[in-house]
Structure 1
Amino acid sequence: MSIYEHFRQEEHGFIDQVLQWKEDVLHQYSPKLTDFLDPREQQIVTAIVGTEGEVQVSFDGGQPFAERKRALLYPDYYVPESEDFQLHMYELNYPKKFVTIEHPQVLGSAMSLGLRRSKFGDILVAGDDIQLVAAEEISSYIEMNLTSIGKAKVSLSSIQREQLHVVKEELIEHVYTVSSMRLDVLLSTIHNLSRQKVQPFIANGAVKVNFKVIEQPSFECHEGDILSLRGHGRSRIVSLEGKTKKEKWRIVVGKQK
């Protein structure tokens, strides 16, 4: 059985990359550090590398509940340390009394510097405190160039990982019955919207599955998938509980508070 059979077609390119990372570690006898990976990518790396064998993998995003993490693939004799993940943590300084800055603005300004999203980890917002985790190799560049967000002047102060806010996403589980696992059907049910209202969101790129924009209403979702609908939050398909007598799926979904 091919390893690709366990994954979606659009994930095969990333799988090839992970297999190459694993091969590099095997032949070079040295660790391989990746950029920041989203949770789905972390799942794929774990599935391919496994927990036993000549190559091991660890993840670090700066704090225990980090969503985006760098992966370190290494030979089984190697003992990884936090420094191996080359993370740089920042506190954002700005005139808090006069300006409100939100997560999308921080991300937009960071991306406008011409850097890939994969060079940034989590953006942590706790009240008006904003923290940013980035790859060490871009730290000097963003310190020099991230000087404003919107109309607000900002600066970055380096902090230690112990100073990062612990932000844990809380999901409340709900049980739904759906006619199919189509993306539009699921979003309609989870968010109590008509499919006619949901479909334009999908067509306009406002929907992601496993952190990737999906523009097909008929996209088939699976157990474990993370769905996000702009303006309505995020949900995760926790489990499929089987079919009812009327051949509908009974599913458990975790929704953001």
Structure 2
Amino acid sequence: MKNKERLVRYYQGTDNGALAARLIELAEYVCKGRPYAVSDFVSPGAVQIGETICAQDTDVHLQCDGGYEGAERVRMAFVRNGYEGAVDFSIRACRLVWDSRYRLLTHRDVLGSLMGLGVERAKFGDIIMAEDGAVLLLDANMESYVQQHLQKVSIVTVQIAPYDLKEIAPRQKKVKEIKTTVASLRLDAIVASGFGISRTKAAAAIKGERVQLNWQPIKSSSREVRVGDCISLRGKGKMEVGEITGISRKGRTGVLLKRYI
């Protein structure tokens, strides 16, 4: 693979070093003759790494699939240019159903139950919540194991069955625009304003590694954000810095935040 060593050096020592190494290895398999090679489920940040790898080598291109239109977590395929066959992403869906009295069960509850079974996060994709259950996207090799062993979410008994990917509706993003002013464009100030918490709590969340900036862990409260940055706070959701609207008479910076709800 062209420029392999340069790519490895670029990502070494970063939080993405191990992930980048795995993706570079997949791309190399294709360069050595495979028609394609598919990754585990990854976040949007990993897709950016995949695009960077493909940009360094004209022999491969990237395809992504999360099981349905608009999926956030996807599997990436490095595909040899000229290959005209289909790519098998090996994605399946399961439908979880529970008593509607327990509608307060959350995405975190389902995620925790799966992790409690010993299933690696990379082996399943989006968890689509509904009032009386959820749809889980997962690696085809994990389908029978999850169906056999996932009997409860939290303390609630669940029923689980295969689900047709074609039945999953495209993901519709609902956006709430927040126009506010901040003392500075520091990450803790933006997190506080966008998620409606105190700046002290925002700083604590960043220190506790509950905040990601552009899908990457961030530990510095003083990091300045820019237009287009995506910020997530575990348990609160995601938002994007949409626009810097100017400086007020009191010297505060106006920002437009787009929070996904």
TM-score range for the pair, normalised by the shorter chain length: 0.7 to 0.9
Counterpart amino acid of 1:141? Y
Counterpart amino acid of 2:113? S
Note the C-alpha offset of 1:124: 0.8
Q: Is the 8 A contact 2:97 2:132 kept in 1?
A: no
Structure 2 unaligned blocks of 5 or more: none
Give the stretch that moved more between structures: 126-135 or 178-187.
178-187
Q: Deviations over 1:121-146 (max 9, x none)?
A: 11111332411100011112111111
For the residues of structure 1 that align with 2:127 and 2:142, how far apart are their CA atoms? 16
Q: Identical aligned pairs, as a percentage?
A: 26
For the residues of structure 1 that align with 2:168 and 2:56, how far apart are their CA atoms? 29
- The 1:38/1:163 distance shift into structure 2, 3 A limit, reads same
- The 1:199/1:171 distance shift into structure 2, 3 A limit, reads same
For the residues of structure 1 that align with 2:158 and 2:131, how far apart are their CA atoms? 17
- Within a 5 Å distance, the mapping from 1:231-250 to structure 2 comes to 231-238=235-242
**What residue in structure 2 maps to residue 163 of structure 1?**
167
Give the stretch that moved more between structures: 141-150 or 48-57.
48-57
For the residues of structure 2 that align with 1:211 and 1:107, how far apart are their CA atoms? 18
Counterpart amino acid of 1:99? Y
**What residue in structure 2 maps to residue 134 of structure 1?**
138
Match of 2:76 among 71, 89, 94: 71
**What residue in structure 1 maps to residue 16 of structure 2?**
11
Note the C-alpha offset of 1:73: 0.9
Q: Deviations over 1:136-190 (max 9, x none)?
A: 1111211111111122222321121111233322223445555544321221232
Q: Is the 8 A contact 2:60 2:81 kept in 1?
A: yes
Match of 1:35 among 21, 35, 40: 40
1:49 is the counterpart of 2:54: yes
Match of 1:183 among 177, 180, 187: 187
Q: Is the 8 A contact 1:126 1:165 kept in 2?
A: no
Match of 1:125 among 108, 121, 129: 129
- The 1:87/1:28 distance shift into structure 2, 3 A limit, reads same
Note the C-alpha offset of 1:230: 3.9
What secondary structure sits across from 2:170 in the alignment?
coil
Q: Is the 8 A contact 2:177 2:258 kept in 1?
A: yes
**What residue in structure 2 maps to residue 255 of structure 1?**
259
Structure 1 unaligned blocks of 5 or more: none
**What residue in structure 1 maps to residue 147 of structure 2?**
143
